Structure 1
Protein backbone atom coordinates (compact mmCIF):
# COMPACT_ATOMS: atom_id res chain seq x y z
CA UNK A 1 0.00 0.00 0.00
CA UNK A 2 1.24 3.48 -0.84
CA UNK A 3 2.29 5.90 1.86
CA UNK A 4 0.34 9.07 2.51
CA UNK A 5 3.21 11.11 1.08
CA UNK A 6 3.12 9.10 -2.17
CA UNK A 7 -0.63 9.56 -2.59
CA UNK A 8 -0.33 13.27 -1.69
CA UNK A 9 2.40 13.71 -4.31
CA UNK A 10 0.32 11.96 -6.97
CA UNK A 11 -2.73 14.01 -6.09
CA UNK A 12 -0.81 17.28 -6.03
CA UNK A 13 0.78 16.61 -9.41
CA UNK A 14 -2.56 15.78 -11.03
CA UNK A 15 -5.04 18.46 -10.02
CA UNK A 16 -5.46 17.80 -6.31
CA UNK A 17 -8.00 15.68 -4.48
CA UNK A 18 -10.63 15.91 -7.22
CA UNK A 19 -8.09 15.62 -10.06
CA UNK A 20 -7.40 12.57 -12.18
CA UNK A 21 -4.24 10.75 -13.23
CA UNK A 22 -3.95 10.74 -17.05
CA UNK A 23 -3.14 7.01 -17.24
CA UNK A 24 -5.61 5.83 -14.57
CA UNK A 25 -9.05 7.40 -15.03
CA UNK A 26 -11.54 7.56 -12.19
CA UNK A 27 -13.98 5.56 -14.33
CA UNK A 28 -11.63 2.54 -14.12
CA UNK A 29 -11.39 2.94 -10.34
CA UNK A 30 -15.17 3.29 -10.02
CA UNK A 31 -15.62 0.10 -12.03
CA UNK A 32 -13.28 -1.79 -9.68
CA UNK A 33 -15.05 -0.37 -6.62
CA UNK A 34 -18.46 -1.36 -8.00
CA UNK A 35 -17.19 -4.91 -8.59
CA UNK A 36 -15.61 -5.09 -5.11
CA UNK A 37 -12.20 -5.49 -6.74
CA UNK A 38 -10.67 -2.71 -4.61
CA UNK A 39 -11.28 -1.02 -1.32
CA UNK A 40 -8.67 1.68 -1.95
CA UNK A 41 -9.49 5.33 -2.27
CA UNK A 42 -8.78 6.74 -5.72
CA UNK A 43 -5.25 8.05 -5.13
CA UNK A 44 -4.19 4.93 -3.20
CA UNK A 45 -5.53 2.85 -6.07
CA UNK A 46 -3.53 4.93 -8.58
CA UNK A 47 -0.36 4.47 -6.52
CA UNK A 48 -0.97 0.71 -6.35
CA UNK A 49 -1.51 0.52 -10.12
CA UNK A 50 1.71 2.41 -10.78
CA UNK A 51 3.58 0.18 -8.32
CA UNK A 52 2.16 -2.97 -9.92
CA UNK A 53 3.26 -1.78 -13.37
CA UNK A 54 6.88 -1.30 -12.33
Structure 2
Protein backbone atom coordinates (compact mmCIF):
# COMPACT_ATOMS: atom_id res chain seq x y z
CA UNK A 1 0.00 0.00 0.00
CA UNK A 2 2.42 2.72 1.12
CA UNK A 3 5.60 0.60 1.20
CA UNK A 4 6.89 1.80 -2.21
CA UNK A 5 6.84 5.37 -0.87
CA UNK A 6 8.85 4.52 2.26
CA UNK A 7 12.10 3.46 0.62
CA UNK A 8 14.03 6.54 1.80
CA UNK A 9 15.07 6.80 5.47
CA UNK A 10 13.79 10.39 5.69
CA UNK A 11 10.34 9.34 4.51
CA UNK A 12 10.29 6.53 7.05
CA UNK A 13 11.12 8.97 9.84
CA UNK A 14 8.40 11.37 8.74
CA UNK A 15 5.86 8.53 8.56
CA UNK A 16 6.76 7.23 12.05
CA UNK A 17 6.73 10.69 13.62
CA UNK A 18 3.47 11.62 11.93
CA UNK A 19 1.77 8.38 12.91
CA UNK A 20 3.00 8.70 16.48
CA UNK A 21 1.75 12.28 16.66
CA UNK A 22 -1.71 11.33 15.45
CA UNK A 23 -1.88 8.33 17.79
CA UNK A 24 -0.71 10.35 20.81
CA UNK A 25 -3.66 12.69 20.28
CA UNK A 26 -5.94 9.79 21.23
CA UNK A 27 -3.89 7.84 23.78
CA UNK A 28 -1.27 8.81 26.33
CA UNK A 29 2.14 9.72 24.91
CA UNK A 30 3.89 6.83 26.69
CA UNK A 31 1.35 4.39 25.25
CA UNK A 32 1.88 5.73 21.73
CA UNK A 33 5.65 5.44 22.16
CA UNK A 34 5.31 1.88 23.44
CA UNK A 35 3.22 0.94 20.39
CA UNK A 36 5.67 2.41 17.90
CA UNK A 37 8.97 1.19 19.39
CA UNK A 38 8.68 -2.32 17.86
CA UNK A 39 7.64 -0.83 14.52
CA UNK A 40 10.65 1.49 14.55
CA UNK A 41 12.98 -1.40 15.41
CA UNK A 42 11.69 -3.49 12.49
CA UNK A 43 11.96 -0.51 10.14
CA UNK A 44 15.56 0.06 11.26
CA UNK A 45 16.52 -3.54 10.53
CA UNK A 46 14.75 -3.51 7.18
CA UNK A 47 16.38 -0.27 6.04
CA UNK A 48 19.94 -1.67 6.36
CA UNK A 49 21.02 1.71 7.68
CA UNK A 50 24.50 1.90 9.23
CA UNK A 51 23.23 4.27 11.94
**Structure 2 length as normaliser, TM-score?**
0.32
Larger RCO (CA under 8 A, 6+ residues apart) = 1
TM-score, normalising length from structure 1?
Answer: 0.31
Q: Judging by fraction of residues, say which structure has more helix.
A: 2
Say which one has the larger Rg. Answer: 2
